[in-house]
Amino acid sequence: MSVAGMGTAAGQARPAGRLPRLIAPDGPLELAEHIDRYGPVPFRDALADFGDGSLISEVEAADLRGRGGAGFPAGRKMRAVARAGRRAGPLRSPVGTAVIANGAESEPASIKDRTLLARAPHLVLDGIALASEAVGASRAYLCVHDSDDQLTGTLSAAISARDRAGMNRVPIQLLTIGGSYVASQETALISMINGGGGKPAFVPPRPSDKGVRGRPTLVQNVETLAHLALIARYGAEWFGALGAGAGSALVTVGGTVHRPGVYEIAVGTPVGELLRQAGGPTEAPQAILAGGYFGGWIRYSDALDVPVSDPALRAAGASLGPGIVMLVPASACGLAETARVVGYLAEQSAGQCGPCFNGLPALADAFWQLAFGRADRATHGWASQLLTLVAGRGACHLPDGTAALAASALRVFGDELYQHAAAGPCPRVRRPGVLPVPGYPGGRA
């Protein structure tokens, strides 16, 4: 049975309002079942065409945003890579571009990418194939963490099945990477593939100009590519029929809820509704951390009506990031939770940029003092000063993200700062950490 290359988009009618879109409840589907359910991969056989009817213009029309944390418009990135590939081409034989699917999520609080890859591998692989065609890629890479042998097994079996069915027009190479927080940053992935140290690099050159082996390179999160695979089949209008145009999103819900896990919601679903889906609080709630460890805190009572979308969460002092909502109970100290995470993030510095490898440990020390030691005015002042000293001064966003989290803790946990300053650390600092921090009691999610 030939399943590939059926020409134009299948265009089957699919109910737009129904969730889940990405992760079939009866998944993971074998390749044949997957094709049965979603239709063949709608290659357009129109590499050179960026205009109306091309996948890139469809993705732009859908205004699909990257789901790896930064939220950059996916279509704009694709267009930049496709254009740069054209520029590089005519002089010699066409060199082609490259596509990297980033599934190496290193946020300790996030499991949505590995869940998607385990439960819907072929949707992500469809997205890689389609994005590769759209930007004229001659090679593609799927990057995942090296910690999960079962997942790598599933993925390499899925890739082989597609090889046998003749569906991999562009070869897809599965790569595993190590555990450091910054190793999954896009320039770090490119450095690793190029045989470098796998650390973030200074930009420019942008990956879209010069990435894998000097080729223009598209780096997209795996969830972004799964959405792209559905947009290619059902169109931009279908995508935007949910979430007031923004579609659906995978969100990892964790902390003190009855059913922690990955939930697919329409973007804009209120935080309170998402927490209800996750079974609600297991004990008296205090605050949520939205957006992961580069995100921000919102008091529980202020959070319930906030829509889970990046603009709304930003207006409330947090962000969507890679889709993370952690519920922290009243029995925990927000300063202690933040201090442990800031300590972890400081240890993740690749040691390349002075303001990062000096500033983050200093910030971690100051936060440790505020949470567990002497929270005097001088320490508070030094912590605030460090926030402005580190932000924006690294090759990657580790210093900015850490500063954002720390700043939000100083804003939201002002009462706690005052109490710690007046009477020393509160008894709640002795509660085991709620936020997962590798290397601390509680450990990984």
Partner 1 sequence: MSRRSGRSGLRVNPVACEAHGICIELLPELIRSDPWGYPLIRPGPVPEQLLPLAKKAVAACPTLALLLTRDD
Crossing angle of helices 149-164/112-119, nearest 10°? 40
393 lies in the binding site for partner 1 (CB under 8 A): yes
Work out how close the CB of 199 gets to partner 1 at its nearest, in angstroms, rounded to a whole number.
8
Task: Give residues with Cβ within 8 angstroms of 323, minimum separation 6.
Answer: 67, 110, 112, 223, 249, 250, 251, 252
Residue 246 gets which letter from DSSP? T
Strand partners, 98: 139, 217
User: Least distance (Å) from partner 1 to the CB of residue 357?
Assistant: 9
Q: Which is nearer to partner 1, 25 or 351 (CB)?
A: 351
Q: How far is the CB of 190 from partner 1 (least distance, A)?
A: 14
Helix (H) or strand (E) holding 419, with range, is helix 414-423
Give the nearer residue to partner 1 in terms of CB position, either 354 or 443.
Answer: 354
> To the nearest whole angstrom, how small is the minimum distance from the Cβ of residue 209 to partner 1?
16
Least distance (Å) between residue 411 CB and partner 1: 23
Per CB under 8 A, the list member of 143, 353, 366, 375 interacting with partner 1 is 353
- Judged by CB under 8 A, the chain residues 154 through 213 that form the site for partner 1 are 201-202
Which residue, 104 or 395, is less far from partner 1 as judged by CB?
395
**Cα(315)–Cα(80) distance, rounded to whole angstroms?**
30
Q: CB under 8 A: which stretch of 37-45, 168-176, 295-303, 387-395 binds partner 1?
A: 387-395
Q: Which is nearer to partner 1, 202 or 418 (CB)?
A: 202
The C-alpha atoms of residue 291 and residue 69 are separated, in whole angstroms, by 8
Indicate the DSSP class of residue 270: B
Query: How many C-beta atoms surround the C-beta of residue 404 within 10 A?
Result: 22
Stretch that binds partner 1, among 64-72, 207-215, 306-314, 390-398 (CB under 8 A): 390-398
For residue 35, the minimal CB distance to partner 1 (Å) is: 45
**Rounded distance between C-alpha atoms, residue 378 and residue 382, angstroms:** 6
Contact positions with partner 1 (CB under 8 A) in 354-373: 354-356, 358-359, 362
Give me 386's structure tokens: 């460090």
Cis peptide before 204 (omega within 30 of 0): yes
- The residues of the shown chain that bind partner 1, judged by CB under 8 A, are 201-202, 352-356, 358-359, 362, 389, 393-395
